[in-house]
Chains A and B, each alone.
Chain A
Amino acid sequence: LKLQTKRLLLRHGTKADVQDVMEGINNLNISKWLLVVPYPYTKKDALYWINLNLESKQKKNKENLNLFIELSAEKKIIGGMGLSKINEFQKTATIGYWISEKYQGKGYGSEALGALLKYSFDKLKLRRINAEVFVGNPSSGKLLEKFGAVNEGFRRKSLISKATGKIMDEYIYGILKEDYQKAVNKLKKRK
């Protein structure tokens, strides 16, 4: 699967991406907001993650769809974005993402999220997407809200971040298909 946007290509990873992935994630400013990423993050960890996604790509019932975000101009991986817990009966999934620190604040997250949500609602015909954001990471929540996500709850001491070992509170976000459509209409109007 490939999703093309103006400046980005969302695609499956290959072993050649190891260096870029490591460069992006082996940074506490990134990994402290992620659940299962250790710090320091080594080449071995990056290879494991890439292989895991290659394996799940082969599976018939796809529960996970993890893509890397390539900056077309530099042919460089600058982040990752994906769906997990894809449930065909429920028509739901959970979304997650990271953007390399150097490339933050340039609208790449929004560009990528727009593409993956469009694919999720229009092609996969999902009706709801879940997202979980550690409290203290407002930029991630704002990105979701841009696409109609509603903050639906606050899970106290919900999880331990692997990178920091800290117990984190977490916001629960939900994007219904109708939320998304309304938000996209608004975005188009503004443009």
Chain B
Amino acid sequence: MRLPKKLVTQRLLLRPIQKDDVDDIVEGINNLNVSKWLLKVPYPYHKKDAQGWVTKKIKKKNDMQFILELKSEKKAIGAMGLHQINLEQGTATTGYWLSEKYWRYGYGSEALGAVLDVAFNKLNLRKVEAAVFVGNPASGKLLEKFGGQIEGLKRKAVISKATGKIMDEYIYGILKEDYKKAVKKINKNKKLKRG
């Protein structure tokens, strides 16, 4: 199965990482308010770290990593991916970050809608999972918008590399049927808003 390279939404372009994204990536992720919620991102975060991530991601298989480019500014404002894609199992995991300056404009929701559309409608996956550190409700709410349910709370699950703290973690699961129901609701609300 060929994985799609690019997805376009109203305000965003989801595209592969390029080497010249490094500066934007450092700008977005070299910020504890962002990196403390991520598993493997060190703090401070240098250009060298970003270069390492870019190289690793370009090579990786069974993985669809997108940069979120804000079309109007031609700027990389975050990243989102489908990882551990297992077509035999019909499963994958998702993860994302958004540069702090660009929070609360609905960009995360716009991007996640596009990525889940690929996951469920193109790749025909049955389930997408995500792990969210306890204390990061914004990330959980985003998943819940698309039908994500908390399925577990793993105590002292992982150490955040940025802070060195041991974190509890929620396991979220979005089944295809959860997603479809949620999307119907979202579309209905849109129609109502438009009148």
Question: At the interface, yes or no: B23 with Cβ under 8 Å from chain A?
Answer: no
**Taking CB as reference atom, which chain B residue is nearest A172?**
B152
Which positions 165-195 of chain B face chain A at CB distance < 8 Å? Answer: 166, 171, 173, 175
**By the criterion of a CB under 8 Å from any partner CB, how many residues of chain B are at the interface?**
22
**Residues of chain A within 8 A of B175, CB atoms compared:** 156-157
A153 touching B153 in the complex, CB below 8 Å, given contacts A90-B158, A92-B158, A160-B90: yes
Kindly state the separation between the CA atoms of A153 and B127 in the bound complex, as whole angstroms: 16
Question: At the interface, yes or no: B159 with Cβ under 8 Å from chain A?
Answer: yes
Bitwise, B102-130 to A at CB < 8 A (1) or not (0) is 00000000000000000000000011010
Question: At the interface, yes or no: A176 with Cβ under 8 Å from chain B?
Answer: yes
Whether the Cβ atoms of A154 and B152 lie closer than 8 Å is yes
* Partner pick for A153 among B90, B91, B171, CB 8 A cutoff: B171
**Residues of chain B within 8 A of A159, CB atoms compared:** 89, 91
**Taking CB as reference atom, which chain B residue is nearest A92?**
B158
**Residues of chain A within 8 A of B89, CB atoms compared:** 159-160
Whether the Cβ atoms of A90 and B159 lie closer than 8 Å is yes
Assign chain A's interface to a size class.
20 to 34
Whether the Cβ atoms of B88 and A174 lie closer than 8 Å is no
Question: At the interface, yes or no: B156 with Cβ under 8 Å from chain A?
Answer: yes
A127 touching B156 in the complex, CB below 8 Å, given contacts A154-B151, A156-B173, A156-B175: yes
**Residues of chain B within 8 A of A155, CB atoms compared:** 129, 151-152, 171, 173
Closest 10 pairs (CB-CB, A-B): A153-B152, A172-B152, A152-B152, A153-B151, A155-B151, A152-B154, A153-B171, A160-B89, A174-B154, A90-B158
Between A and B, 27 residue pairs with Cβ closer than 8 Å are A89-B159, A90-B158, A127-B156, A128-B155, A152-B153, A153-B151, A153-B152, A153-B153, A153-B171, A154-B151, A155-B171, A155-B173, A156-B127, A156-B173, A157-B126, A157-B175, A158-B127, A159-B91, A160-B88, A160-B89, A160-B90, A172-B151, A172-B152, A172-B171, A174-B155, A174-B157, A176-B156
